[in-house]
Amino acid sequence: MPYPDFMDYKIAAARGLTETSFVHKFGHTPNASTTSNPIWSEGGAYTYLTAEDYLIIASDDTNDKAADTGARTVEISGVSGGFTTCSETVTLNGFVGVTTSNQYLRIFRMKVKTAGSSGWNEGKISLLPDAAGSTFTAAGVPTTTAIVLASLETTTNQTLMAIYTVPLTYTAYLLKSYANCADNNVIEVSLYARPDGEVFQVKEKFHVYRNSGEVSHEIPVPYSAGTDLELRAAGSTSAADVSGGFDLLLCSGD
């Protein structure tokens, strides 16, 4: 659908008036270390699935379930094998893990769709691969945190993960990356990209110190389908509180 000449193309994309769409990825970690890792709520390195799999989701608060006061349903978004866009809405069952209907290769967002009287996820909600050794305790806590694919911190209703994978039939054009740190800490911020079948490569790097920093691209930088993108941070000392993210235009048919 064409859009008026006076309208900025980014606004048109956000309104769905073109064959492009807008992706705003943002993350937060309260304990970034001196090792460069993705900015996401779990902190530390992120472990990717090597093959598509069913997933299991649970909360460490029993009120996060159907007909109770906390989160009731959660939308899971990512890509399946072959990097095809995939999403579904799962009804929670408190401490008990619920298995997804779809298989996924990558996850880049979860968000609460419906909730009870509190209006929030009252506990931490975690998403794991439905594989051997990937289980929850009786209290809804992952038995192995290293394989967590996404998590919802208490009362956030959405994941905080500066991680994304470009879906099949799309090219992602990077408009901007940014980060913030309010601590007395020098943060080295790096954007890494891993094209399908290759390894992670650094694409830009900048530093922030008790303020915000960003890199904007007058000519957007393209990334092909199947590319994994991570915004990483490393502090001059440990336990840095860091937020950051990046903005993409997704163009279909490229």
pTM of the model: 0.91
Please, how many CA atoms are within 13 Å of residue 27, restricted to the half-sphere of its CB? 30
Please work out, in degrees rounded to the nearest 5, the angle formed at the alpha carbon of residue 79 by the alpha carbons of 77 and 225. 125
* Mean predicted lDDT score pLDDT of the chain: 92
- Checking if the pLDDT of 152 tops 90, the result is yes
Q: pLDDT band for position 8 (50/70/90)?
A: low
Q: Measure the CA dihedral 105/111/114/118, to 10°.
A: 140
- Rounded CA-CA distance 162/166 in Å is 13
How many other CB atoms sit within 10 Å of the CB of residue 205?
A: 13
- Rounded CA-CA distance 144/162 in Å is 22
Q: Which residues contact 233 (CB under 8 A, 6 or more apart)?
A: 29, 32, 36, 37, 39, 179, 181, 187, 188, 189, 190, 240, 242, 244
Q: Measure the CA dihedral 157/163/165/166, to 10°.
A: 90
Q: Which residues contact 1 (CB under 8 A, 6 or more apart)?
A: 16, 17, 18
User: Quick check: helix, strand or coil at residue 122?
Assistant: coil
The average pLDDT across 42-46 equals: 94
Percentage of residues in the chain with pLDDT exceeding 70? 92
- Rounded CA-CA distance 112/89 in Å is 9
Match 């970690």 to its residue by tokens. 29
- Rounded CA-CA distance 49/42 in Å is 16
pLDDT of residue 6: 46
- Rounded CA-CA distance 108/199 in Å is 19
- Rounded CA-CA distance 160/41 in Å is 6
Sheet holding 71-79, edge to edge: 85-91, 71-79, 106-115
pLDDT of residue 183: 83
Q: pLDDT band for position 252 (50/70/90)?
A: confident
pLDDT of residue 184: 86
Q: pLDDT band for position 133 (50/70/90)?
A: confident
pLDDT of residue 150: 98
- Checking if the pLDDT of 3 tops 60, the result is no
**Domain annotation for the chain: domains and CATH numbers:** 9-40+163-252 (2.60.120.1330), 55-152 (no CATH)
pLDDT of residue 134: 85
pLDDT of residue 253: 72
Tell me the per-residue pLDDT of 226-244, one tens digit each, with 9 for 90 and over. Answer: 999 999 999 998 889 999 9
- Rounded CA-CA distance 85/70 in Å is 28
